A = this chain, B = another copy of it.
């Protein structure tokens, strides 16, 4: 059985993260002070820093929870994708997009992305990078499945085109969170307009 100390630690960490998820969404990342989180989690400011190195780390931890879910759903889809190349790719990508705002606001995404660029060497910066890599990996895996099925031309390299695709959908997602007015539907339209022509180029059969 876990010792008292260990249980208390796990409990405190959970309380801090829970406070963060709640307050960040309710009041905005910026507006929430570490002192507020400490108060809500019933610990001191110093203790918060014992569990997370920076305020940004707390945010990345919440983003990670969100993205893990998205990755799980993607897994299922990659195993058994729809028929057409464009359909398969867009179903996967739209799955990512549609879940993105479930727990996180655009402000939180902006800050998290800014952090992953600014502090790539911190443990949590690395964690974010790893999530990105796994997402890119799913896109590649999907292309491989489609190629094995004979739907994608044999002379293209799934890893290369997968990275190209992922870079595109990632940049478009960045533009989406940067623009508070932009809707999910508009994001989908933009990306579809870019993916469809590419799908046509790499498909073996005529794409609809």
Contacts and interface: CB of A to CB of B under 8 A. Distances in A.
Interface string A162-205: 01100110111010011110000000000001100110011000
Contact of A197 (B114, B129, B156): B156
Contacts of A164: 164, 168, 194, 198
Interface string A110-121: 110111111011
B178 A171 contact: no
Interface in A124-178: 129, 156-157, 160-161, 163-164, 167-168, 170-172, 174, 177-178
Nearest to A202: B201
A31 to B, nearest CB: 14
A129 B114 CA distance: 15
Interface of A: 110-111, 113-118, 120-121, 129, 156-157, 160-161, 163-164, 167-168, 170-172, 174, 177-180, 193-194, 197-198, 201-202
Given A120-B179, A160-B193, 11 more contacts: A110-B118, A116-B178, A117-B177, A117-B178, A157-B197, A161-B198, A163-B194, A164-B198, A167-B167, A167-B168, A167-B172
